[in-house]
Structure 1
Amino acid sequence: MTRRPTLALSTALIVAACSAGPATSAASGDSSARDASGAHPAAPVAEAPFTLREVASFDEPWAMTFLPGTRLALVTEKAGKLKLWQEGGATLDVAGVPTVAYGGQGGFGDVVLAPDFASSGMVYLSWAEAGDGGTYGAVVGRAKLVQGEAPRLEGLEIIWKQSPKVTGRGHYSHRLAFSPDGQYLFIGSGERQKFDPAQDMNANLGKIVRLNPDGSVPADNPFASQGGVAAQIWSLGHRNVLGIVFDGEGRLWNHEMGPRGGDEVNLVERGANYGYPVVSNGDHYNGGDIPDHPTRPEFAAPKLWWNPSISPAGLVWYGGDRYPGWKNSLLTGALSGQGLIRLAIEGDTLHKSDRWDFGTRVREVEVREDGTIWLLTDGDEGKLVQLVPKG
């Protein structure tokens, strides 16, 4: 059974959410906090328009998704478990999960529902898989979720793999999102800390991939005529994609960890090249310089970025009314930034509207059907936390 939750979060978790209009920063009106670049200071602790309800504990939770019409959620744990959380009830293990290559940044990854989940019961999962000669790569599979007292996955099949598998256990990314029309599956594929594959059309590393739901390649993909893995590619020049989401207008956004500095948010366009590792608004960890985006205008530039880094993780679009002033915003967790960040959308521009210091790493952000926002904190005592609107 899931351990009884305890309020292990910092008292700073009850934080300000001074949410003015979309173009207003919570950081004392400092316009620099809304700029595309530079630091993004956290809001001061003050009265918030929400309270925090800690409801469950998990061992290294990584991703979650709510089941429609229920008070249930699927939660992946990095070491290889899939949990079915039941509000007000026991948290159950889901049988039939794949064997994952756990270690480093690898293990169980994302979980999303098929667009026709209500009729098919299909779920999509990502995880790290071992290969030959000490190599690893991310894979994506799908299976039918059978619910009940002993939930299980049936008919698990792998529909996509990172190619090639490489050594090391970092930057799998393997975040998933379906297009609003349900016709296409988008996959964030990290460059596996190998740099050059992000520009190599013979590898699907450092790319955002677009597939049909069965894993086949759409004939109208931008590089379909090249064949091979290039046919899968929707965009390239990415580093470590840890958030991917469509907004209310059907536009695709992603965020990714930069090197030292340069974490960025991109408006993802068909066939666009986002420049990594040729350009970045950060530098190499060894201190080596990487030219900034403005030096190479042929590459698509991020809509905003952070320096110093906040290590973004998890990304949702919020279109509800439960939290005043938040409609049409992107919400991202922050790992090294230890909190939650709201980015207001105005046309194709983003504003760094709010940042709250939770004092703990936030791995995942999700929105339930009732318009409430839920978080997973990171680590072996990870918590499921609901932001309960006041009033």
Structure 2
Amino acid sequence: MDILILNNTGWGLGGGVEEYSRILADINLELGNRIIKASLNRTRRTYEDLVLYARTEKHIVNIFDNYLEKSLSKVCLRFKIDLIHANITDAYNGYPIFKVSRKLKIPLVFTIHGWNYLCPIGWKIMLPEFKVCKKIAPHPHCAICVASLKKHESRSPIEIPLKITRIPYVSYIYRKLLQDADCVISPSKTFTLELYRELGVKAQYIPNPVNPALLRDALEPRVESIRKDEEQIVLFIGRLVHEKGVLFLPEIARRLNPKAELHVAGTGPLEEKLMRYRMPNMILHGLLFGEEKKNLLKRASVVIVPSVCREMLPYVILEAFVHRKPVVAFDVEGGQKELIEMTGSGLLAKPFDIQDFADKVNYLLQNPDEVENMTRNVHKVLLKEFTIDNYKEKLARIYNNVVS
């Protein structure tokens, strides 16, 4: 089977979508499929076999832009594609993919990587109240959320009104994509239920697999890192953007134990602001890959995920569990809560209460025996629920169903 695997972020980057796309490609090779890897992003350096250059302007005209549609059609015809597997987090790129799959009668499988399919800002959190949103987009409150978020990012006085006017169009496109795709894969139980409640779409719940190399690390003898008289490293890994709770980091650092350090690994638009407001016990590493990232995870005492959005399946939590590190996150319905409750390897703080969050981190730092008990069985869960073999079996079944 010839399969076109698409994402809109690039293949050479270190985020969850990129990691999933690489694992997906490896799984398909193991299944005996021929794969064509492609990215729809021209603004970042990538290392894929094929790059599709799509216009990057985010305006409504892109939905009807024939350039991407023609490029995709040429690729599908040239390589005689039997199935398209898309990992797209952008409605403007998703719609041309859908049109091509229907025009050429090629089955389309979508893997969901964010709540933006159900929410214009992708958080599924109501702003400025910071409450879990149960409304169905497009809803009048969506405009308030967009305005609340974008007022901190807007570079033009007309940007916010434009984004608000696009809400009905974007919501329609996402709904169309999900309802008409041949199969939708969701790595989150919470999202799967919400998707059915809001759109009536029955997604296949399959948690994303862990990189086999990381699972091999899980079987290595553990090097103890939490001791009251040793270094206490609290680690944040992720994009430096609003939804990841980056602006909470200085306040969390200020409330940590005197011996504790908050290490931040990642880059993004808020990096400069974080540098400006960082506390003395904060260390910013920038973007880390490979052994550097792995070594920092091994040294860490606690991994924090202070996201103010509802996550899908944060890959950093799986990486933390591989190294048997406890995780602290806010108690918000979504992937972060699912993973912590599934494994018992972490604590959930009151939603967006920084003091309670810091208290949970300090508790773990001061109670290494509790951490040992908490993370004792995490590898069993990983090896049962998040292996390549499990995912490969379910994916092969999906492919056979949609192609036949």
The alignment's TM-score, normalised by the length of structure 1, stands at: 0.26
Pick the structure with greater CA Rg: 2
Structure with higher RCO (Cα < 8 A, 6+ apart): 1
